[in-house]
Amino acid sequence: MLSQVESHLRSDRFPHIWCPGCGNGIVLSALVRAIEELGYDPDKTVVVSGIGCSSRAAGYLDFNTLHTTHGRALAFATGIKLARPELDVFVLMGDGDATAIGGNHFIHAARRNIDLTAIIFNNSIYGMTGGQYSPLTPPGKRATTAPYGNIERSFDIAELAKGAGATYVARATTYHATMLEKLIVAGARNKGFSVIEAITACPVGYGRRNKMGNGLQMLLWQKEQAVTVKQAEKMSPEELQDKIIIGELYRGEAPEYTAMYEEIIARTKGKNQ
């Protein structure tokens, strides 16, 4: 399998810059296997990312890649998809990238139901800038900007995406790497805005400060905390506290943005003739 995966990597840029045990590489690996499984033409596959440790992922991929600015990956991706709707576009973002500075782009991409596949690397922290809390840092957890524990409630990315209008919403952890791969495949096949939240470890900026151990220990913690959608149905809200629900969380139906746009173009062209 490595040779197939490697055919989509820019091998000359490896070893990558991520810290030992960082989960970003596991998400990247699942994405590559998913694209391989989808059988997409590499020349028609686009990967757009923002800024953050996780967003460095785009630079390691041998597709059409765009490493943009913090919080704006979805804005760039929207432009690409509108100009070239036939391309398959993946958008890689960190939790801070997608829900703090990029929060508005996120909800409006969902509201438009534009056919993009967004993968959010949720490591509960601003990894790249040294461990400031993000909108996904759980209450009570420590960050450089929350030395006594975070007093803010965190977003639920899945609920946020669903509420804003996304038509495919799923979550997996890096421990559940095969599930993550399958969810990316299903999300990419959805004709609309798809959000896949990948719970991933930042041992250096988050784990160490919160006494969660190294990358391996954080991976095993994900295994302990995760419950499948099926298991969660039988659990009370109290039992579900601090649990990570994994699997396909939501599928909806809505008109897709670029298709609507094409329709308008066709209609107005007809009028002008």
Partner 1 sequence: MAEALAIPRAIKIQVRQGWCKGCGICVALCPKEVLSLDGSGKVAVVNPDRCVGCGRCEIHCPDFAIGIEVKEQ
Ligand X SMILES: Cc1ncc(C[n+]2csc(CCOP(=O)(O)OP(=O)(O)O)c2C)c(N)n1
Where do contacts with ligand SF4 occur on this chain (CB under 6 A)? 18-19, 22, 24, 53, 123, 127-128, 202-205
76 binds ligand X (CB under 6 A): no
Q: What tokens does 171 get? A: 């979550």
CB of 252 to Mg ion, least distance (A): 27
CB of 203 to ligand SF4, least distance (A): 5
Cβ pair 55, 43 in contact under 8 A: no
- Closest CB to Mg ion among residues 125, 185: 125
With b for 16 or more beta-carbon neighbours within 10 A and e for fewer, the 135-172 pattern comes to: bbbeeebbbeebeeebeeebbebbebbbebbbbbbbbb
State the distance between the two ends of the chain, measured CA to CA, in whole angstroms. 54
Q: Which does 204 bind (CB under 5 to 8 A by kind): partner 1, ligand SF4, ligand X, none?
A: ligand SF4
Phi/psi for 195 (5° steps) reads -125, 125
CB of 115 to partner 1, least distance (A): 27
Bridge partners (DSSP) listed for residue 196 = 119, 170
Q: What is the rounded distance in angstroms from the CA atom of residue 199 to the CA atom of residue 27?
A: 9
Options 27, 46, 48, 53; binder of ligand X; rule CB under 6 A = 53
DSSP letter at 202 equals -
- Closest CB to ligand SF4 among residues 53, 195: 53
- Among the residue ranges 10-18, 95-103, 209-217, 263-271, the one whose residues contact ligand X (CB under 6 A): 95-103
Q: Which residue has the tokens 């960190």?
A: 94
Q: Which does 174 bind (CB under 5 to 8 A by kind): Mg ion, partner 1, ligand X, none?
A: partner 1
Q: Which does 95 bind (CB under 5 to 8 A by kind): partner 1, Mg ion, ligand SF4, none?
A: Mg ion
Q: Which does 97 bind (CB under 5 to 8 A by kind): ligand X, Mg ion, ligand SF4, none?
A: ligand X
Q: What is the rounded distance in angstroms from the CA atom of residue 171 to the CA atom of residue 160?
A: 13
Phi/psi for 193 (5° steps) reads -80, 120
CB of 145 to ligand X, least distance (A): 11
Bridge partners (DSSP) listed for residue 226 = 244
- Which residues sit at the interface with ligand X, rule CB under 6 A? 51-54, 70, 94-97, 101, 121, 123, 125-129, 134
Q: Which residues bind Mg ion (CB under 5 A)?
A: 94-95, 123, 127
